[in-house]
Structure 1
Amino acid sequence: MAQITRDEVAHLANLARIDLSDDELDHLAPQLSVILESVQSISGVAGDDIAPTSHALPLTNVFRDDVVRPSLTADEALSGAPAAEQQRFAVPRILGDEQ
């Protein structure tokens, strides 16, 4: 059972540059002990025979393979645009020269 004393809490608070009153030290010591017990119980769950994973369930790729197919040329794509320049859509400038 992991127990943390009032003096250890005071030492940790000093290292973290946290000013705690005597009442706060008395209140935090048992709470931190419960947290340490919880962490200790969780660390005992995973055994050496269980491989570390990033997901609980196996992931599969849901994307299709990329296949090159005929598509519009640049001129065809820009033919319906209100304005174009240098084979690009021309849009109003929203940033000034200072950007």
Structure 2
Amino acid sequence: MSITTKDVQHVAKLARLNLSEDEEQMFTEQLNAILQYADQLNELDTEGIEPTTHVLHLSNVMRNDEQRESLPIEKVLLNAPDEEDNQFKVPAVLE
């Protein structure tokens, strides 16, 4: 499979890009080089290789949910720039 200048023009039109002829030619060459490189992967023998979703083993590190006492309201409001009636006071966003 190869990319033609017509393909590049079509994608540029969809993306609403105005490309010069030099840019069209450059992108055509670059995209074809990418496809040729990706085509090299078809030459690899992958028989017996298990499919993977990621090359590294990843796992989420989760801690158990434990119920515990919350901070006292006085300590929580110590860093509040402004408070009123034991609540954070923030600027109004609605009139």
TM-score (norm 1): 0.51
| C-alpha distance in structure 2 between counterparts of 1:92 and 1:14, whole Å | 52
| 1:29-44 equivalence runs, <5 A | 29-42=28-41
Alignment deviations for residues 5-55 of structure 1 (CA, whole Å, 9 cap, x no partner) = 223322332333322222222222111111222333457769473233346
Q: Which residue of 1 aligns with 2:50?
A: 50
Question: Gaps (5+ residues) in structure 1?
Answer: 83-88
1:59 alignment counterpart: 59
- Paired-residue identity, %: 21
- Partner residue, 2:18: 19
**Change in CA separation of 1:56 and 1:19 when aligned onto 2, cut-off 3 Å:** same
Distance 1:30 1:20 in 2: 14
- Could you say what the CA RMSD is over the residues aligned between the two structures, in angstroms? 4.0
- TM norm structure 2: 0.52
Question: Relative to 1, partners in 2 of residues 1:92 and 1:4: Cα closer, same or farther, differing over 3 Å?
Answer: closer
Q: 2:92 corresponds to which residue?
A: 96
Which one has the largest radius of gyration? Answer: 1
Pair 1:67–1:36, CA change in 2 (3 A): same
* 2:7 corresponds to: 8
Between Structure 1 and Structure 2, the one with more helix by share is: 2
Shift in alpha-carbon separation, 1:24–1:44, aligned structure 2, 3 A: same
> Structure 2: any 5+ residue segments left out of the alignment?
76-84
